[in-house]
Amino acid sequence: MWGRADKAVKLLERNIPSFLRMSRGVGPKVSRRLCSKPQEESSVQPRGRPVLRVPGHKPTDWEKKCLLWAGHFKKPEDIPEVVSIDTIRAAQTTLRVKFSYVMIALTIVGCIVMVIRGKQAVKRHESLTSINLEKKAQWKEEATQSTSAKP
């Protein structure tokens, strides 16, 4: 079966104009016949936020804590006097992600607790409707007592 496919490809190659044919060993995106010289990498920075490379940054106490909590350093003594901004940003990003995971976990735990408390309230035959009716009855009773106490 593969032999037939090879023959079909060879037959089709004859009908393709020479300038459209790819040279041997070259991928479909690169055609050496159309380029006179190889493209050189340009050192043009991408547009957008300018890349500002500060050789070093003295971390504050808060940034030192971030570096420790993120796991970049084991002890406060291990943190050098000067740290790159990229390291601090990476630590803050790691902490942001960890904090979001903690918030997700707390939300799930809170939902589970509320479901359990709701089921316990159903077993005690408590509902929002019955609680509201009791409150309204109590307010009505207080209102009647206050009007009867004003002679």
Residue 67 CB burial class (10 angstroms; 0-12, 13-18, ≥19): buried
pLDDT digits (tens, 9 = 90+) for 47-62: 665 555 557 889 999 9
* 18 or 117: which leads in pLDDT: 117
Percent of the chain residues past pLDDT 90, beyond the cut: 44
Q: Would you say residue 149 has pLDDT above 70?
A: yes
pLDDT digits (tens, 9 = 90+) for 57-113: 899 999 999 999 999 999 989 999 999 999 999 999 999 999 999 999 999 999 999
Pairwise CA distance, residues 21 & 13, whole Å: 8
pLDDT digits (tens, 9 = 90+) for 119-148: 999 999 888 898 999 999 999 999 998 888
Sign of CA dihedral 17, 20, 26, 32: positive
